[in-house]
C-alpha cells in the first residue's frame, strides 16, 4: 500500500528566453507607455521558473545590466526560481555583475559544465 505524499505537486509555469532577445524586446518598448514596467513585473513575478539563456551574448550596456538586475531582483524578492546560462566563468560573471551574481547564488548554486564546445566543432 502506497502512502499519500504530504506535498501536493502542481504544474510549474516556466519560461525559457534568450538574454539577447529579452533585453532587445524590453529596450525597444517606447518610454512612457507603462508597458516596460508591466513586462518587467510579469517576468519578475509570474513564472515559477525563468531560464535566461546565454547571458553575456547581448551587447552589455548600463541599460541591459539594469534590465537583468530588475528581473533577477524581483524574482529573488518573490522567491521564484531563476536559471541562467552563460559562457562566462563564475568569477568573470561576478566581476561584471556582482549584484546579479549575488542574488542568483544566495539561494542557488553555480554548476560549471566543461567539455567540448559543440558549436565550434
Distance from C-alpha of 57 to C-alpha of 17, rounded to nearest angstrom: 13
CB 80 within 8 A of CB 48: yes
| All domains in the chain, ordered by first residue | 20-27+35-106 (3.40.50.300)
> Smallest Cα–Cα separation from 95: which of 59, 74, 65?
65
3-state secondary structure of 41: helix
Distance from C-alpha of 60 to C-alpha of 78, rounded to nearest angstrom: 26
Q: What is the structure's pLDDT at 109?
A: 82
Q: What is the structure's pLDDT at 4?
A: 44
Rounded average pLDDT per 10-residue block, the chain, 121 residues:
49 90 92 90 91 86 91 92 87 84 83 79 69
Catalogue the E-assigned strands of the chain: 14-18, 49-55, 81-86
Q: What is the structure's pLDDT at 26?
A: 93
Amino acid at each position: 500500500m502506497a502512502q499519500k505524499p504530504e506535498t501536493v505537486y502542481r504544474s510549474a509555469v516556466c519560461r525559457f528566453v534568450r538574454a539577447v532577445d529579452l533585453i532587445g524586446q524590453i529596450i525597444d518598448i517606447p518610454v512612457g507607455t507603462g508597458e516596460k514596467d508591466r513586462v518587467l513585473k510579469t517576468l519578475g513575478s509570474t513564472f515559477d521558473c525563468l531560464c535566461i539563456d546565454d547571458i553575456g551574448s547581448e551587447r552589455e550596456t548600463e541599460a541591459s545590466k539594469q534590465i537583468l538586475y530588475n528581473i533577477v531582483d524581483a524574482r529573488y524578492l518573490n522567491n521564484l526560481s531563476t536559471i541562467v546560462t552563460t559562457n562566462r566563468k563564475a568569477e568573470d560573471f561576478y566581476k561584471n555583475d556582482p549584484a546579479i551574481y549575488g542574488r542568483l547564488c544566495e539561494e542557488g548554486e553555480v554548476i560549471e559544465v566543461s567539455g567540448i564546445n559543440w558549436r565550434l566543432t
